[in-house]
Amino acid sequence: MKTAALRHDVHEQIEQIGQADIVVGIPSYNSAKTIGHVVRAVQAGLAKYFPNYKAVLVNSDGGSSDGTVDVVQNTTIEDFGSILLKHRTEPMYKMAFPYSGIPGKGSAFRAVFAIAEGLNAKACAVVDSDLRSITPEWLELLITPVLENDFDYIAPLYHRHKYDGTITNSIVYPLTRALYGKRVRQPIGGDFGFSGKLAQFYLTKDVWDTDVARFGIDIWMTTTALANGFRVAQSFLGAKIHDAKDPGSDLSDMLYQVVSATFGLMDGYAEQWMAIENSQAVPTFGFEYSVGLEPVKVNTARMIDFFREGIVNLHEIWLSILGAGDLREVERLGALNDSEFHFPIALWTRVVYDYAIAFHQRKLSPEHLIKSLTPLYLGKTASFILEAEHMDAHEAEAEIEKLCQEFESSKSYLVTNWK
């Protein structure tokens, strides 16, 4: 079946290949420095774990100007023997092309879904092009549960520094878990496995001209799988180390992209999540092990300063979103010394729920609304970092677990106020 998501030459390549068992997608944009390693890891993973499956590696590129596509085309593992691999019995194909549609990771993924549909693939995986820690085992962990255990969606599970991934830890994970009742620890991990059936289901959704195509694809994929009853699991992949972008430089943009995508999906799936209470663990694949992580430099005093600036300047906006009671609580936090600073989890839960309700009720323009959350988020992040300073990874994770339980137990507040 031809789809408008693909160019004519890509259709020709699909026709030449005919059918494939596995499709692995790598979305990219100016990733020439890192994509070679990712391609080699994917090739090795497919050779080592799926030698009897016909596989296609797809590089869906956003018009890179640094020769990313050439790197993909020219990267091969010359000597499989040196990495203890036998030669494949089934061929492995490679496709690298610029995707069609509005620029963004979602459009790149759409092309991968379309190719999976065109090749009638059984299982697919997508991995980021800037990964430095990807190993061939990632392919096994993302694809085998789909091929052999009939799962439809495999989310990643990484070991990360206790201070990293704070948007996930303090907003997206607790909220997704409380809403849809499944404990998917990394709902926006970026590296996923999924069935051909789910890829086809994604293509039926009319979202490819929206923000999903630009930046909201990760949470959209996870939420769509959860809310539509697909079988979901997660696989432990080890550490996630990727090419460092300038962290914190565009925090409010990042927050807007992730949180608006999450809140936007709440509107569409309100009927489903309103009926759900509590949460269940999802099956986890892979052998968990501890990972040595680089220390992370943070400046909590600066974060608390941003929080206090928010109290001074955003009073009216916060009042319209949080109400007088919770705003008073927030203002009380602003008066605390840095050493005593502590953002209670119950208050943070209500803040996130109030913002979700305000987003639903269109109280402000979505961008203004969510960007006004930035100082509150920094306050919560500073509080977590101060509390977790002397904790090991397990203790820090237990704190996140407490927050998740608070989100679940306070869900009635969200349901009651959702009009």
Partner 1 sequence: MSDFLNLILEPLQQLFHKLEEFAPNFLAMLVILLAGILFAWLLRKLVIKLLDTLQFDSWSDRKGFTTLMRKGDMWGKPSLLAGAFVFWVTVIVALMTGLSALNINAIDQLVSQFFVYLPRAFSAILILGIGYIFAGFVSRAVLISAVNSGYHYAKLLAEAIRILLTTLILAMVMEQLQIAPGIVLAAFTIICGGIVLALSISFGVGGIDAARRVIERQATREDQEPEKEDIQHL
- Residue 365 as a binder of partner 1 (CB under 8 A): the answer is yes
Which CB atom, from 76 or from 299, has the smaller least distance to partner 1? 299
What residue type is assigned to position 10 of the chain?
A: V
Q: What angle do CA 104, 110, 116 make, to 5 degrees?
A: 145
Smallest gap from residue 230 Cβ to partner 1 (A):
24
- Residue 187 as a binder of partner 1 (CB under 8 A): the answer is no
Q: CB within 8 A of 297, min separation 6: which ones? A: none
Cα end-to-end distance, the chain, whole Å: 42
**Helix or strand run (H / E) with residue 28:** strand 22-28
Which CB atom, from 25 or from 375, has the smaller least distance to partner 1? 375
Smallest gap from residue 335 Cβ to partner 1 (A):
18
Sole binder of partner 1 in the list 10, 258, 265, 396 (CB under 8 A): 258
- Residue 306 as a binder of partner 1 (CB under 8 A): the answer is yes
- Residue 149 as a binder of partner 1 (CB under 8 A): the answer is no
Which CB atom, from 277 or from 367, has the smaller least distance to partner 1? 367
- Residue 299 as a binder of partner 1 (CB under 8 A): the answer is yes
Contact 140, 45 (CB under 8 A): yes
Which CB atom, from 203 or from 251, has the smaller least distance to partner 1? 251
- Which span sits near partner 1 by CB under 8 A: 44-52, 61-69, 290-298, 340-348? 290-298
- Which span sits near partner 1 by CB under 8 A: 45-53, 129-137, 260-268, 288-296? 288-296
Backbone torsions φ then ψ of 185, nearest 5 degrees:
-70, -35
CA distance 369 to 360: 11
Sole binder of partner 1 in the list 6, 22, 188, 259 (CB under 8 A): 188
Which CB atom, from 49 or from 355, has the smaller least distance to partner 1? 355
Sole binder of partner 1 in the list 163, 173, 273, 355 (CB under 8 A): 163
CA distance 20 to 242: 29
Which CB atom, from 122 or from 380, has the smaller least distance to partner 1? 380
Sole binder of partner 1 in the list 19, 76, 278, 313 (CB under 8 A): 313
Radius of gyration for the chain, computed over Cα atoms and rounded to the nearest angstrom: 22
Which residues, listed in sequence order, are joined to residue 56 by a DSSP beta bridge? 23, 93
On the CB side of 224, CA atoms within 13 Å amount to 22
- Residue 397 as a binder of partner 1 (CB under 8 A): the answer is no
HEC secondary structure over 68-136: HHHHHHHCCCCCHHHHCCCCCCCCEEEEEEECCCCCCHHHHHHHHHHHHHHCCCCEEEECCCCECCCCH
Q: CB within 8 A of 28, min separation 6: which ones? A: 35, 59, 60, 61, 62, 64, 68, 72, 108, 129
Structure tokens of 220?
A: 């959209």
- Residue 391 as a binder of partner 1 (CB under 8 A): the answer is no
On the CB side of 259, CA atoms within 13 Å amount to 31
Binding positions for partner 1, 216-255, rule CB under 8 A: 244, 246-248, 251-252, 254-255
Binding positions for partner 1, 85-124, rule CB under 8 A: none
- Residue 351 as a binder of partner 1 (CB under 8 A): the answer is no
The site for partner 1 (CB under 8 A) is made up of 160, 163-168, 188, 244, 246-248, 251-252, 254-255, 258, 294-299, 302, 305-306, 309-310, 312-314, 317, 361-365, 368, 371-372, 374-375, 381
